[in-house]
Amino acid sequence: MTTQVISENFHLAGARNALSKESCMKLYDEWASSYNNDLADASQNYIAPILTAQAAVAASTHTKATVLDAGCGTGLVGEALAKSNSMTIDGADLSPAMLKIAQDTGVYRSLMLCDLTQPIAKDDETYDIITCCGTFTRGHVGPDPALREFVRLTKNGGIIVATILEEIWVSGGYKAEVEKIQAEGLAKVVSTDLKDYRKGAGDKATFLVLEKSA
């Protein structure tokens, strides 16, 4: 095993076992400078950001959509979105160091320090698309209030694309919260496909696509 692989596993394990928002933020602040390289390694092959962007483009009818990339990290989803379409992209994340790298990509209109476990300081119906990749995972952000907040911030007919790590889709209450949101008539489930997430490491995620009810 190479030194790089040990480092990747150390950071990822730490992130997924974070016991508090503060420890999660500290971990990402420390990981930020090597995050992209670590997850691009063949042992990880983190393809979720590209699949998230593809799902958002496929599900949206807008050619000039306004997007919130929630839990944007270093900007992998924003970069993938920027390649495939003409979009205006805002980002939000807990880690200042991750946001700094996202800023350097040049693809975000604005970036906001934000805790997704709390209400989000944005107006109702601001975005055509919300993406959230890699942030509904162990030790990070739970389903409530984040999913409802995403629905609130999305325009009628707009799209939410979020990955939820396979092992917590049911046990973490995400599936139940999505069913509740749909039963309340707030949004319709378009799909919940199980897809590769870190293809090199063999883990998968539910790729949730929600459409906000008009």
Ligand X SMILES: C[S@@+](CC[C@H](N)C(=O)[O-])C[C@H]1O[C@@H](n2cnc3c(N)ncnc32)[C@H](O)[C@@H]1O
Binding residues for ligand X, per CB under 6 A? 21, 24, 28, 48-49, 71-73, 76-77, 93-95, 98, 114-117, 133-135, 140-141
- How far apart are the C-alpha atoms of 16 and 137, rounded to whole Å? 7
75 DSSP assignment: S
Q: Of 71 and 143, which has the nearer Cβ to ligand X?
A: 71
Q: How far is the CB of 45 from ligand X (least distance, A)?
A: 13
Q: How far is the CB of 185 from ligand X (least distance, A)?
A: 27
Neighbouring CB atoms inside 10 A of 201's CB total: 16
154 CB-contact burial (10 Å; exposed 0-12 / middle 13-18 / buried 19+)? buried
Cβ proximity to ligand X, 120 vs 181, nearer residue: 120
Residue 95 · residue 116 · CB < 8 Å: no
Question: Minimum distance from CB of 113 to ligand X (Å)?
Answer: 9
Q: Which CB, 49 or 172, lies closer to ligand X?
A: 49
CB of 138 to ligand X, least distance (A): 11
Per-residue burial over 11-34, b = 16 or more CB atoms within 10 Å of its CB, e = otherwise: bbebbbebeebeebbebbbebbee
Q: How far is the CB of 5 from ligand X (least distance, A)?
A: 17
Strand (E) or helix (H) holding 182: helix 174-183
- Residue nearest to ligand X according to CB distances in the complex: 73
Residue with smaller CB distance to ligand X, 72 or 89:
72
Nearest partner of 24 among 174, 138, 195, 160, judged by Cα: 138
Q: Which is nearer to ligand X, 48 or 187 (CB)?
A: 48
